A and B are shown apart, each in its own frame.
Chain A
Amino acid sequence: MSRVIIQLIINGLLAGGIYALVSIGLCLIFGVVEVINFAHGEFLMLGMYTTYWLFYFFKIDPYLSLLIVIPLSFLIGVITQRVLIQPLLDAPPLNQIFVTMGLSILLQNVALILWKATYRTIKTTYSSWFIKSGGLSISFPRLLACIVASGITVALLIFLKKTYVGKAIRAIAQDKRGATLMGINVHRMYQLTFGLGTVCVGIAGAILMPIYYAFPTVGLLFCLTAFAVVIVGGYNSLTGAFIAGFVIGLIESFSGFFISPHLQQGVYFAIVILVLLFKPSGLLGLKES
């Protein structure tokens, strides 16, 4: 039995790594620009499709395709912020929600027209590599996703804490007015943040491709989980989102085994509701000042 428990923990952590990776970008945008980006899942979808087509046409390995996916995602993020969000910064929050929702539906349908509803998968030699020992097994692409998620979180935290630009971004997150008065170009920082957030989710898309499949509405599946992760972790805490990703993964793994596989989403959304009721700022979120 103990072996089963250890395997469940491994499974939970591996799934959690993917959730964390998808959620970090959402959390960054949420925390700094204060926009709920409903099109986040569609950015994941675009990352997955880019990786897929690079593999399909040019036989570029999914991990290598990051070299193209990263700048492309950054560009998409910056353009979205500049064209869609920036004009609405002072509009009521509802307008911002509707514009990202509209973008989400638009992107889904464009993907449907361009690439059809077919499920696209990549089969690489390492898609089904796994590390096996003592009756336990760890999937190699999932483990890699986990490591990348951790790497990105650490890199982002260092960037935000140590660099001048990072400090500026944090300053805006804490007090937009004050930051503006200090001469920080808020719009440019917002574009940068949106770009970085989109890069995170683009990377997630690329390294998901060897495990999962791309289709026009794939973003919805991950986006829902990402929202749960961000709420549980605290909407303005990257570390919180990172940890919460693993927490949700573990909850899913255990509730799926001990309760029922078709209730696993139900269980963690029940937890989301509890968090909202009793600790609205999340596990590591800062209280509203």
Chain B
Amino acid sequence: MKKNIKRISVMVTLLTLFSFSVVEATETVKIGNLFPVTGNAARVGIDCREGTEIARLVQNDKGGLWGKKIVYVKGDAVDPKIAMAEAERLITKEGVDIIIGTAASSRSYAATQVAERYKKIYWETSANSDTITARGLKYLFRTNAEASYYSKYAGMIIIDTVCPKLGIKPEKLRIAIVAEDTVYGTNALDGAKKICKKLGLKNVVYIGTFDPNAVDLSSLIMKLKAANPDLLLLSAHLSQEVLFWRQAKDLDFNVKAYLCPTGEGATTAEYVKSLGDDVNGHMVVSYCPPPQAVNPDYAVGIKEFAERYKKEYGHKLTSVYPLITYTGTMVLWDILQKAGSTDPDAVRKAALSIDIPKTVAGFGVKFNPDTGQNVKAKCVVIQWQGGEMWTTWPSEAAVKGHKLQLPLPTWEEREKGKTIK
């Protein structure tokens, strides 16, 4: 008898536990969320995840999806190999149909292959390498701009604004293209080279890469000094960018304009913290505007987003990354509403049917059925003025009173107090 009671009680407990988990499972929608939150891409990865988190909270406040709350099953994409293992775990063990990612291109490139193999949706919101969508994966969609858009925008602003402001004809403009020797850097370098050729910016006086682990960049700067460019295009991660500008100042290397064609470190709070007023005048191509410094008519709803962010994380939003992943994730919710379930084929069909004219990041969404890339994604150009980032281009995104200002003052002029405010 005693034994039986024991058995029955165990069974009852198990049954209750089971039924609870069933009830819980039916009331939530599980979505995979894969970003690097440790390792060397962690800084951007954490920023990106914050944006998706705000999107989840906002949607849950509205009632979630089909009356169910959204929950994330999180993965850490430390490196490409772990990103693959994590994608596999999210799909096979956690049973998600959709994964949102990924901040870093190398991780995205690897993890998307896994999702494709299992025929699950991979929703890329932030990694930008062209190669990710170039493979024509069927279940991959990307809402943010791809890397080659950046150079396209860099080219446009050079012709449209930089040349007239400096009073130099495009074919005469002395351009130096410099990048760190990594996949990110060399992609940017190739993009910049191509766009210069295409737009007739013939006078490229220096092209070169440098060691991303270099602890001294003085010889690069000496070379640039000898080449004497009007415009410098430099693609490097934050650390090397900071080192470059500190040494450029030491060695009195002056350019009339500086454009970072692939906004990375130059759009972060650390950039200005490390360089102070020396950042003023630097231009950066970014895939979305900084929330506090964009025309609110261009990015409708950005104020609410910034306020919600502050409420959730307790500090002001300064990074541009949360906005780009927030935008992409909100689009995903719209599509899921339309699809009626997380079934990958239904989601795919719904994704291909949409044509959103404008999102909170200022651009629209329409997917190329062959690649999954959002063909309406756009970039903006930011300029540092008075120690803050301001959207300066395209003009409809710019805040009044913050036009692009060129040329950059020389170090000597800066010493005397001349700066870009």
Given that A7-B222, A11-B222, A119-B238 are known contacts, is A262 also in contact with B210, CB under 8 Å in the complex? yes
The reply on B58 being an interface residue by CB < 8 A is no
In the bound complex, residues from chain B placing their C-beta under 8 Å from that of A142 are 250
Bound form: Cα–Cα A7–B211 in Å? 21
Bound form: Cα–Cα A15–B40 in Å? 26
The residue in chain A whose Cβ has the minimal distance to the Cβ of B42 is A117
The reply on A264 being an interface residue by CB < 8 A is yes
Cβ contact within 8 Å between A116 and B42: yes
**Nearest Cβ on chain A to B44's Cβ, whole angstroms:** 10
The reply on B181 being an interface residue by CB < 8 A is yes
In the bound complex, residues from chain A placing their C-beta under 8 Å from that of B43 are 116-118
The residue in chain A whose Cβ has the minimal distance to the Cβ of B249 is A128
Cβ contact within 8 Å between A213 and B214: no
In the bound complex, residues from chain A placing their C-beta under 8 Å from that of B211 are 261-262, 264-265
Bound form: Cα–Cα A119–B42 in Å? 11
Bound form: Cα–Cα A284–B247 in Å? 32
**Nearest Cβ on chain B to A67's Cβ, whole angstroms:** 25
Cβ contact within 8 Å between B215 and A18: yes
The reply on A94 being an interface residue by CB < 8 A is no
Bound form: Cα–Cα A257–B221 in Å? 9
Bound form: Cα–Cα A55–B273 in Å? 14
Cβ contact within 8 Å between B218 and A128: no
- Residue among A222, A255, A262 with most chain B CB within 10 A: A262
The reply on A53 being an interface residue by CB < 8 A is no
**Nearest Cβ on chain A to B304's Cβ, whole angstroms:** 28
Given that A112-B38, A121-B274, A262-B181 are known contacts, is A11 also in contact with B219, CB under 8 Å in the complex? yes
**Partner among B181, B216, B251, B276 whose Cβ is within 8 Å of the Cβ of A252:** B216
Bound form: Cα–Cα A255–B39 in Å? 32
The reply on B310 being an interface residue by CB < 8 A is no
Given that A213-B239, A262-B210 are known contacts, is A127 also in contact with B215, CB under 8 Å in the complex? no
The residue in chain A whose Cβ has the minimal distance to the Cβ of B276 is A123
Cβ contact within 8 Å between A15 and B181: no
The reply on B270 being an interface residue by CB < 8 A is yes
**Partner among B208, B210, B275 whose Cβ is within 8 Å of the Cβ of A123:** B275
The reply on B223 being an interface residue by CB < 8 A is yes
Cβ contact within 8 Å between B219 and A119: no
Those of A249-263 within 8 Å (CB) of chain B: 249, 252-257, 260-262
The reply on A80 being an interface residue by CB < 8 A is no
Bound form: Cα–Cα A32–B221 in Å? 40
The A contact surface, by secondary structure, is helix
Cβ contact within 8 Å between B38 and A264: no
Those of A46-102 within 8 Å (CB) of chain B: none
Per-residue interface assignment for chain B, residues 16 to 51, with 1 indicating a CB less than 8 Å from any chain A CB and 0 otherwise: 000000000000000000000011111100000000
The residue in chain B whose Cβ has the minimal distance to the Cβ of A260 is B208
Interface residues on B, range: 35 or more
In the bound complex, residues from chain A placing their C-beta under 8 Å from that of B270 are 118-119, 121
The reply on A110 being an interface residue by CB < 8 A is no
Given that A118-B43, A262-B210 are known contacts, is A132 also in contact with B252, CB under 8 Å in the complex? yes
In the bound complex, residues from chain A placing their C-beta under 8 Å from that of B273 are 121, 123
Number of A-B contacts (CB under 8 A): 107
In the bound complex, residues from chain A placing their C-beta under 8 Å from that of B238 are 119
Bound form: Cα–Cα A74–B185 in Å? 40
**Partner among A11, A121, A130, A254 whose Cβ is within 8 Å of the Cβ of B242:** A121
Given that A118-B270, A262-B210 are known contacts, is A212 also in contact with B223, CB under 8 Å in the complex? no
Cβ contact within 8 Å between B215 and A137: no
Cβ contact within 8 Å between A261 and B246: no
The reply on B159 being an interface residue by CB < 8 A is no
The reply on A221 being an interface residue by CB < 8 A is yes
The reply on A193 being an interface residue by CB < 8 A is no
Given that A119-B242, A262-B181 are known contacts, is A8 also in contact with B252, CB under 8 Å in the complex? no
Cβ contact within 8 Å between B246 and A117: no
Cβ contact within 8 Å between B209 and A15: no
Per-residue interface assignment for chain B, residues 373 to 416, with 1 indicating a CB less than 8 Å from any chain A CB and 0 otherwise: 00000000000000000000000000000000000000000000
Bound form: Cα–Cα A121–B268 in Å? 13
The reply on A139 being an interface residue by CB < 8 A is yes
Given that A257-B222, A262-B208 are known contacts, is A137 also in contact with B251, CB under 8 Å in the complex? yes
The reply on A225 being an interface residue by CB < 8 A is yes
The reply on A276 being an interface residue by CB < 8 A is no
**Partner among A117, A137, A256 whose Cβ is within 8 Å of the Cβ of B252:** A137
**Nearest Cβ on chain A to B340's Cβ, whole angstroms:** 40
In the bound complex, residues from chain B placing their C-beta under 8 Å from that of A265 are 211, 213-214
The reply on B71 being an interface residue by CB < 8 A is no
The reply on A4 being an interface residue by CB < 8 A is yes
**Nearest Cβ on chain A to B238's Cβ, whole angstroms:** 6
Bound form: Cα–Cα A132–B217 in Å? 19
**Nearest Cβ on chain B to A211's Cβ, whole angstroms:** 7
The reply on B226 being an interface residue by CB < 8 A is yes
Cβ contact within 8 Å between B239 and A128: no
A–B Cβ pairs within 8 angstroms, 28 of them: A14-B218, A116-B42, A117-B39, A119-B238, A121-B270, A121-B274, A123-B275, A128-B278, A130-B249, A130-B250, A132-B252, A139-B250, A212-B243, A213-B239, A213-B243, A221-B215, A225-B215, A249-B216, A253-B218, A255-B219, A256-B219, A256-B220, A257-B222, A260-B208, A261-B214, A262-B181, A262-B209, A265-B213
**Residues on B facing A (Cβ under 8 Å):** 38-43, 181, 208-211, 213-220, 222-223, 226, 238-239, 242-243, 246-247, 249-252, 270, 273-276, 278
Extra A-B contacts (9), CB below 8 Å, given A249-B216, A257-B219: A11-B222, A18-B216, A117-B42, A139-B250, A142-B250, A220-B213, A261-B208, A262-B208, A262-B211
Going nearest first, the 6 A-B pairs with the smallest beta carbon separation are: A256-B219, A11-B218, A261-B220, A121-B274, A261-B210, A15-B216
